[in-house]
Amino acid sequence: MSNQNNPFGGVSGQYSTNVQYGGAPATGAAPAADLIKDTSTAGFAADVIQESRKQPVLVDFWAPWCGPCKQLTPVIERVVQAAGGRVKLVKMNIDDHPAIAGQLGIQSIPAVIAFKNGQPVDGFMGAVPETQIREFIDRVAGKGGGAQVEDAMAAAAEARAAGDLQAAAQMYDAVLAQAPDNVDAIAALAELLFEAGDKAGAEDVLAQVPEDKKDTAPIASVRARLALAEQAASLGDAAELERRIAENPKDHQARFDLAMIQNAKGQRTEAADNLLAIVKADRSWNDDGARAQLLQLFEAWGMTDEVTLATRRKLSSLLFS
């Protein structure tokens, strides 16, 4: 995916979402479910030994002056997030906390040691490729399944609802690293890019959808949003349209264009009400264009969206009363 104007910056696997959103750097951002954290000599027993009795814990020994450490950090963080809770990652700066590394006989960094049931069980050294890190996690934690993807998707949705778009984008990208054909993650990531003003980036993400899944509901919804936004961009000034409607309530074209602008601004109820007003006044206008546009909005909003459901009821009442 092209990165030149991507507000989420960086390159992360197939999808470019090493997020730099709102000025906060992706590296070091706290992911959902506390999967990644820094520790100290005093905290090692709780963060690693005790925690490894619940699930494997990877300990990344690093130092600020270590170039390969800086290469490894974003890669291993991404893979740990994609693992969906099968492992946790604990990072230890050996300059500040050298004792544990010394006890484990670590001679060079970066070094990653996996702990299970309170004991070191496996490890690797150096900035190894992402594929090797995935294989390492599979070896120490077993291969993940649908449950891990579902958990990661739920965590991403929570982050998005809380306004943490940086974390949400990282987690959707992590899901796609593990399940590249997950249409829900593709659609959600495309929506984030679109909402951040990167329409081209959203289209690039959608271009990765497998051919046999291009017509699925989540993908169709995002494509409809992009099409509606493009349509609304050429419609002019909302205030002028409102003035025209005030002067002539039967100016259906002005009301239709205003509805498109309102939808682009997220004013769904207002957009729906204006289209319903056209249907009520003149069902035949523009070859039933207002009703057809409502159906396109329903697709863009999602069939279970509250405004979709409420407007469907009003539309049915108009058509069948």
pLDDT digits (tens, 9 = 90+) for 65-111: 999 999 999 999 988 888 877 899 999 999 999 999 888 888 889 99
Q: Could you give the CA distance from residue 286 to residue 304 in angstroms, rounded to a whole number?
A: 28
pLDDT of the residue at 156: 84
Q: Which residue has the higher pLDDT, 152 or 137?
A: 137
Residue 37 in this model has a pLDDT that exceeds 50: yes
Q: Could you give the CA distance from residue 75 to residue 59 in angstroms, rounded to a whole number?
A: 14
Q: E strand or H helix at 96, and its extent?
A: none
Maximum average pLDDT range among 121-130, 168-177, 218-227, 244-253:
244-253
Q: Which amino acid is at 37?
A: K
Maximum average pLDDT range among 3-12, 192-201, 238-247:
238-247
Residue 241 in this model has a pLDDT that exceeds 80: yes
Q: For tokens 């092209």, what's the residue?
A: 2
SS3 123: strand
Taking only the tens place, the pLDDT of each residue in 39-62 is: 999 999 999 999 888 889 999 999
Residue 38 in this model has a pLDDT that exceeds 60: yes
pLDDT of the residue at 213: 81
Maximum average pLDDT range among 27-36, 171-180, 260-269:
260-269
Q: Kindly report the number of other CB atoms within 10 A of residue 97's CB atom.
A: 18
Strand arrangement of the beta sheet that strand 88-93 belongs to:
36-38, 88-93, 57-62, 111-116, 119-125
Q: Active-site positions?
A: 66, 69
Q: Could you give the CA distance from residue 201 to residue 185 in angstroms, rounded to a whole number?
A: 15
Q: For tokens 């349209």, what's the residue?
A: 241
Q: Could you give the CA distance from residue 303 to residue 310 in angstroms, rounded to a whole number?
A: 11
Taking only the tens place, the pLDDT of each residue in 9-33 is: 333 344 444 333 332 333 333 344 4
The predicted model scores a pTM of: 0.44
Domains located in the chain, CATH noted: 31-141 (3.40.30.10), 238-320 (1.25.40.10)
